[in-house]
Each structure stands twice: as structure tokens, then as C-alpha cells.
């Protein structure tokens, strides 16, 4: 099937255009650059797979010294069946003790992933720990601090700009809502 046909079959509507996302990413990068202007260096930690595009764009707009690293966590059962349980898949290459750390996530749904990661990273004694999240769903979530937030979105399944459904749609330049019948029952 051609990409256009796949999109027509699966996508309900575009929630955030490429322009809207890029504008907001630049604003977040400016805010982070300002807040850490006195820091010698910061470490941006992207949570795979979802955050890979957001981190790539955000880090290229940040105009203070920084490095990037990655972690991967997998949630058991998403959507309506989500249990909130998470599994550690990939760890950082270096210790983060005494570093200024910013966790970069694509989306907060239940909050389980970020809460789990925040606790793990906090226990490694960074000099500071903040979170930067592109999307936050409007639903009940676990209590976890969000220092930099891109957008609040409705409680629907979104794809694109790193976010997937069954590992597809991640490379769309915009963020779109999936048709409900596609993800119902998952
Ligand atoms: C997604 C997303 C977040 C998490 C948010 O990851 O990237 O990490 O779910 O959900 P939560 O707030 O309910 O924990 P997913 O487990 O789908 O893996 P992926 O990033 O590899 O797509």
C-alpha cells in the first residue's frame, strides 16, 4: 500500500502541524538555554524510541554546551490495558553524578515511564534533574514533575514526530490523531 493510502486509512486528523511543533521546540530550546546559561554543560537524556526526533531537533536549537545520551524503557500493555509496569531495556553509557541533567520525553500518558526513570536517575545523584516533555495527555496521571512542556493534548492515540502505532508512523513530520477503530481494543 502507498503511504498516502495508509495515512488515509489510519489518520483521523492532524493535531499539530510541522510548523507548530518546530516553533514550540525552538521556544523550549530557548527557555532551556536561558535557564542553564550559567552551567558549564548539560546532559540531555532522550528516552527511546519515541523521543529520538524531538531530542534531535531540540538539541540542535539549544545554544549552550550540552551532550546527549539515551535510555530505553518499555511499558507493558498500552492504551486501556496499560498496567503502569515498565521494563528497563537500555541504560546510559556514563555515570551522571554531579551533572545537570534534563530528561527528554515525547509524551506522558499515565506518567509511569517518566516517574520510574525520574526515580532511577535521581538515585544516581546528578547535580540537578529536570524534565522536558513534548506532549502531555489530558487525563489522570501519576505525580511527576514536568519542567518544560510542549503541548497538552486530548486523551487520544497520537502518532508522528517520533510517536508510533505498532512501530509505524514515527517519521511523519507532524503529530496526528489515529482513528479510534484502529487502536480500539489494544
Ligand atoms: C511511550 C512514550 C513514553 C511512554 C509514555 O513509549 O514514548 O515513553 O509511552 O507512557 P506512560 O506515561 O503511560 O508511561 P513506549 O513504551 O510506547 O515506547 P516507544 O517510545 O519505544 O514507542
Are 45 and 87 spatial neighbours (Cβ–Cβ below 8 Å)? no
Cell, residue 11: 489518520
- pLDDT (0 to 100) of residue 80: 44
Between the CA of 96 and the centroid of ligand 1 the distance, in Å, is 23
Between the CA of 170 and the centroid of ligand 1 the distance, in Å, is 13
Nearest atom in ligand 1 to 109's CA: 12
The answer for 123, left when phi > 0, alpha when psi is -120 to 50, beta otherwise, is alpha
Catalytic residue list contains 109: yes
Per-residue pLDDT of the chain (186 residues; tens, 9 = 90+): 788 898 889 999 999 999 999 999 999 999 999 999 999 999 999 999 999 999 999 999 999 999 999 999 876 655 444 555 677 899 999 999 999 999 999 999 999 899 999 999 999 999 999 999 999 999 888 889 999 999 999 999 999 999 999 999 999 999 999 999 988 866
Stretch (H or E) spanning 14 = strand 11-16
Is there an atom of ligand 1 within 6 Å of 50 CB?
A: yes
- pLDDT (0 to 100) of residue 186: 67
- pLDDT (0 to 100) of residue 76: 63
Active-site entry in 109, 147, 164, 167: 109
All residues at 6 or more sequence positions from 64 whose CB lies less than 8 Å from its CB, including other chains:
32, 33, 36, 37, 39, 41, 42
C-alpha to C-alpha distances, 27 to 24, 32, 84, nearest whole angstrom? 5, 9, 31
Amino acid at each position: 500500500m502507498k503511504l498516502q493510502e495508509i495515512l488515509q486509512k489510519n489518520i483521523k486528523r492532524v493535531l499539530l502541524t510541522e510548523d507548530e511543533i518546530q516553533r514550540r521546540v525552538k521556544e523550549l530550546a530557548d527557555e532551556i538555554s536561558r535557564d542553564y546559561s550559567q552551567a558549564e554543560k548539560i546532559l540531555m537524556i532522550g528516552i527511546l524510541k519515541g523521543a529520538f526526533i524531538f531530542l534531535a531537533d531540540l538539541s540542535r536549537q539549544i545554544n549552550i554546551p550540552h551532550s546527549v545520551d539515551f535510555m530505553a524503557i518499555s511499558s507493558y500493555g498500552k492504551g486501556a490495558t496499560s498496567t503502569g509496569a515498565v521494563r528497563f531495556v537500555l541504560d546510559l553509557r556514563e555515570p551522571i553524578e554531579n551533572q545537570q541533567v534534563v530528561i527528554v520525553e515525547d509524551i506522558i500518558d499515565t506518567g509511569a515511564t517518566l516517574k520510574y526513570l525520574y526515580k532511577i536517575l535521581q538515585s544516581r545523584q546528578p547535580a540537578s534533574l529536570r524534565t522536558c516533555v513534548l506532549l502531555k495527555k489530558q487525563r489522570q496521571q501519576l505525580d511527576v514533575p514536568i519542567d518544560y512542556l510542549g503541548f497538552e493534548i486530548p486523551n487520544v492515540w497520537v502518532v508522528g514526530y517520533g510517536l508510533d502505532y505498532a512501530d509505524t508512523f514515527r517519521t511523519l513530520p507532524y503529530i496526528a490523531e489515529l482513528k479510534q477503530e484502529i487502536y480500539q481494543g489494544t
